[in-house]
């Protein structure tokens, strides 16, 4: 799909120059309590899904968020929209702290930021037609007062996402996976948002359909001036669609830079390991390039390591600072790194210059913060947090 979508921005949507900050996240934390007990639940710990994240998203750009499963990237996306209430920190959206909004104020503000979920089938009500699904959000925000204009808007939405208007009378199960994802995108667009958080928008789709959905998102962004936060684990997808990329590990950002620069000059040891895992379609280059195989298991977010979260698996770990001091995300002075290239590593400059060489990592057992069932029959703690009877 290419060219004009024919879809107008919702009336009253603000405009701004390129580069203006739309979303500013500061010290964001999302901690889930771990409960224990049957009659009287008591909190025995917390799962630190997001633990002190700072980032900014500029108006009109696509910010890609990558990391392995369980690093907290989906939770961060939901916390930015206040779908998952933050434990601490602030999320300032166009001058308004979303994290502090509640009730009717939050409901009205949600007109300006929407989400596209990973699984389109589970996120669409199977008992509602596409028309009802699209109308639901418009009705909630008072955008359906004119029947003729509303019907025209629905037809525009379907055309904008590459679906025939006749599909408005169908149910989600009558569409393919790619078409259902397009319906999810149309639903997000129905209220005229400024920001869309896309959580793994193409991971459940075939490769050919992935390209269609990615191109659709880019066309809509060019036409409507949308801002995206794209959460994904596929590095090729993120590189294709993103302007800037942030890399997450165990609840925190470890590196952030322009998309092309991150792939050309990865500086954090974890980012270097991620990039080395991406196959190259050239056998000679594939055999000669650096390959980093991480040793050990991912630590539990309920019991993260002290100091640098990555030091238990890092081939460049040093005996000073790495075990005791958590590195801050900072701009580094490295050849090839731009002014906005930030890295959370104490030794990023020394590693880049070759002053510190990689070494073997001894695999260590991960200490889990749960125990076997006691004799009194109370619940024990499962690895992912909630108590299991």
Confidence at residue 279, expressed as pLDDT on a 0 to 100 scale = 75
Burial of residue 281, with CB atoms counted within 10 A of its CB: 0-12 exposed, 13-18 middle, 19 or more buried: exposed
Report which DSSP code applies to 53: E
Contact of 351 with 284, CB cutoff 8 Å: no
Q: Where in the chain do CATH 3.40.50.300 domains reside?
A: 21-242
Confidence of residue 364 (pLDDT cuts 50, 70, 90): low
Higher pLDDT, 285 or 218: 218
For the segment 285-296, the average pLDDT, to the nearest whole number, is 76
Domain 21-242, what architecture?
Answer: 3-Layer(aba) Sandwich (3.40)
Q: Residue 375 above 50 pLDDT?
A: no
Higher pLDDT, 385 or 113: 113
Q: Report the predicted TM-score, pTM, of the whole model to 2 decimal places.
A: 0.85
pLDDT tens-digit readout, 210-261 = 888 899 999 999 999 999 999 998 888 888 899 999 999 999 999 999 999 9
């Amino acid at each position: 799909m290419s060219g004009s979508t024919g879809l107008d921005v919702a009336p009253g949507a603000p405009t701004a120059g390129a580069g203006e900050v739309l979303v500013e996240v500061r010290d964001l934390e999302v901690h889930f309590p771990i409960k224990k007990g049957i009659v009287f639940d008591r909190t025995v710990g917390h799962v630190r899904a997001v633990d002190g994240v700072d980032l900014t998203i500029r108006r009109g750009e696509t910010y890609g968020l990558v990391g392995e499963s369980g690093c907290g990237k989906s939770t961060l996306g939901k916390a930015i929209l206040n779908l998952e209430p933050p434990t601490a920190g602030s999320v300032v959206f166009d001058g308004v702290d979303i994290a502090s909004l509640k009730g009717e104020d939050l409901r009205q503000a949600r007109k300006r930021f929407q989400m596209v979920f990973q699984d389109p089938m589970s996120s669409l009500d199977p008992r509602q037609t596409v028309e009802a699904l699209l109308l639901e959000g418009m009705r909630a925000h008072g955008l359906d007062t004119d029947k003729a204009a509303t019907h025209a808007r629905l037809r525009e939405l379907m055309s904008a996402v590459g679906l025939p208007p006749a599909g408005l009378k169908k149910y989600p199960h009558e569409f393919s996976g790619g078409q259902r994802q397009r319906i999810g995108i149309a639903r997000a667009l129905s209220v005229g948002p400024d920001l869309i958080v896309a959580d793994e928008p193409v991971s459940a789709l075939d490769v050919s359909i992935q390209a269609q959905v990615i191109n659709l998102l880019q066309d809509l962004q060019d036409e409507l001036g949308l801002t995206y936060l794209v959460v994904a684990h596929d590095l090729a997808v993120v590189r294709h669609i993103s302007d800037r990329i942030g890399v997450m590990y165990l609840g925190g950002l470890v590196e952030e830079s322009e998309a092309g620069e991150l792939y050309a000059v990865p500086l954090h040891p974890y980012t270097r390991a991620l990039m080395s895992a991406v196959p190259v379609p050239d056998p000679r280059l594939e055999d000669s390039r650096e390959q980093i195989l991480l040793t050990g298991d991912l630590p539990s977010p309920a019991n993260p390591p002290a100091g640098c979260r990555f030091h238990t698996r890092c081939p460049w770990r040093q005996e000073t600072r790495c075990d005791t001091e958590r590195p801050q995300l900072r701009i580094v002075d490295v050849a090839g790194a731009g002014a906005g290239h930030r890295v959370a590593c104490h030794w990023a400059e020394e590693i880049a210059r070759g002053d510190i060489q990689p070494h073997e990592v001894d695999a260590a057992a991960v200490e889990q913060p749960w125990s076997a069932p006691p004799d009194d029959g109370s619940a024990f703690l499962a690895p992912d947090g909630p108590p299991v009877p």
